[in-house]
Amino acid sequence: MTAAATPAHVVIDGFLGAARAGELMQFALAHESEFSQSRFYTAERAARIDTSVRDSSRLLELGPLRAAFAVSVDLVLAHLTRELNVRLPSETKKEIEMVRYGDGGFFKRHADAPPRPDGHDSVRVLTLVYYFHALPQRFEGGALRLFSTDGFADIEPAYDRLVAFPSAASHEVRPTCCVSAFADGRFSINCWVRRMLVA
Is 28 a binder of ligand AKG (CB under 6 A)? no
User: Which of the choices Fe ion, ligand AKG, none does residue 144 contact, using the CB cut-off of 5 to 8 A by kind?
Assistant: ligand AKG
Q: Smallest distance from the beta carbon of 90 to ligand AKG, in angstroms? A: 25
DSSP bridge partners of 73:
none
User: Which of the choices ligand AKG, Fe ion, none does residue 190 contact, using the CB cut-off of 5 to 8 A by kind?
Assistant: ligand AKG
CB environment 141-180: b (16+ within 10 A), e (fewer): bbbbbbbbeeebbebebebbbbbbbbbbbbbbbbbbebee
Q: Smallest distance from the beta carbon of 166 to ligand AKG, in angstroms? A: 12
Q: Which residue is nearest to ligand AKG (CB)?
A: 144
Residue whose CB is less far from ligand AKG, 125 or 144: 144
Q: Smallest distance from the beta carbon of 53 to Fe ion, in angstroms? A: 11
Q: Are the beta carbons of 29 and 132 closer than 8 angstroms?
A: no
Region class of 35: left (phi > 0), else alpha (psi between -120 and 50), else beta: beta
Helix (H) or strand (E) holding 165: strand 161-166
Is 148 a binder of ligand AKG (CB under 6 A)? no
Binding region for Fe ion (CB under 5 A): 112
Residue whose CB is less far from ligand AKG, 1 or 11: 11
Instruction: Provide the pairing of β-strand 92-101 with 57-59.
Output: antiparallel
User: Which of the choices ligand AKG, Fe ion, none does residue 65 contact, using the CB cut-off of 5 to 8 A by kind?
Assistant: none
Q: Are the beta carbons of 124 and 113 closer than 8 angstroms?
A: yes
User: Which of the choices ligand AKG, Fe ion, none does residue 129 contact, using the CB cut-off of 5 to 8 A by kind?
Assistant: ligand AKG
Q: Which of 188, 191, 193, 195 binds ligand AKG (CB under 6 A)?
A: 188
Is 170 a binder of ligand AKG (CB under 6 A)? no
Is 161 a binder of ligand AKG (CB under 6 A)? no
Residue 103 to residues 30, 85, 110, 183, Cα–Cα distance (Å): 20, 36, 21, 11
Question: How far is the C-alpha of 160 from the C-alpha of 158, rounded, in Å?
Answer: 6
Is 129 a binder of ligand AKG (CB under 6 A)? yes
Q: What is the residue-wise DSSP string for 79-119? A: HHHHHHT----S-EEEEEEEEEE-TT-EEEEE-SS-SS--S
| Site for ligand AKG, rule CB under 6 A | 107, 112, 129, 144, 171, 173, 188, 190
